[in-house]
Amino acid sequence: MKMAAIQPFVTADKERNIETALRLIAESARGGAQMAVLPEMFFCPIDFDLFPKYAEPAGGAAWQAMSDAAKQNGLWLVAGSMPETGEGGEIYNSCFVFAPDGSCAARHRKMHLYDVDIEGGTRFMESESVTPGSEVTVFDTPFGRFGVVVCFDIRYPELFRLTVDAGAEAIIIPAVFNMSTGPLHWELTCRARAVDNQVYTVGCAPARNEALSYVPYANSLVCSPWGEVTARLGTEEGILYTDIDFAEVKKVREQLPLLKLRRQDVYTLRLN
């Protein structure tokens, strides 16, 4: 299948950001994509103080715009993530997946929240604004089964292994790494999760906007089940097209049977 990872230029203007996403989704469809992917917080800067202002419930205006875009363009749409207002007023960092008929095929609420509080240094506490999710997310397409995680979730191999155990052969990662962690860890973790689990990983980020308080690293990329970077963007707005071949996943797992040779009988920690 042909996939388009969309790297939009995100600003503080919510409506402009949604219009940008819609324009690039339509361009992806014209380019032959059968699935389009948006980045984390595609209509909202990474600023926790702004999340309540931008947040919408499932079924809200932005959600509906993405549902309509999937249907109008006849493709699968992994709609990055958005601040979602929950039933009790809490806010989640949620990724919605829409099928080509516009129906919602899956929702992943970011499970691991980015909390850093260094004395005399950086303080970045996502949990002060966002409630964590608790569910492993996979969804089926005519091409194969996909998994979804959001940004900081990539730091946790346990979640990727559970997603693979649930049948995923490609895992999509809407994310916004920053200018400190991005150069060091973005490619490294995407490749590591790919090779450890013998899956495609698709890391989708926004373009770099130096005017934001949290500057995105950008560099959307795709890694093969061998852990190779097969496609990559730079820092500008653009669309990254790639082919996802689930036969390649099977081939890699046969040639190097890592998953088959796991020792589940010894993976329980026993302390004397």
Distance between CA atoms of residues 203 and 151, nearest Å: 9
pLDDT of residue 47: 87
pLDDT of residue 117: 78
pLDDT of residue 68: 98
Distance between CA atoms of residues 123 and 176, nearest Å: 17
Q: Output helix, strand, coil percentages for the chain, rounded to the nearest 5.
A: 30, 25, 45
Global pTM exceeds 0.85: yes
The predicted-structure confidence for 90-110, as pLDDT tens digits, reads as follows 999 999 999 999 999 999 999
Residue showing tokens 């026993």 = 270
Nearest Cα neighbor of 27 from 69, 66, 63, 67 is 69
The predicted-structure confidence for 206-264, as pLDDT tens digits, reads as follows 999 999 999 999 999 999 999 999 999 999 999 999 999 999 999 999 999 999 999 99
Nearest Cα neighbor of 194 from 258, 142, 124 is 258
* Catalytic residue (choose from 84, 95, 126, 151): 151
In this structure, are strands 200-204 and 170-174 parallel, antiparallel, or unpaired?
Answer: parallel
In the residue annotation, 40 being an active-site residue is answered as yes
* Catalytic residue (choose from 44, 95, 110, 204): 110
Within 10 angstroms of residue 212's Cβ, the number of other Cβ atoms is 16
Is residue 5 a contact partner of residue 242, using CB atoms and an 8 Å limit? Answer: yes
Q: Does the pLDDT at position 121 exceed 70?
A: no
Q: Does the pLDDT at position 115 exceed 90?
A: no
Round the average pLDDT of the chain to a whole number and report it.
96
Nearest Cα neighbor of 227 from 256, 265, 207, 270 is 256
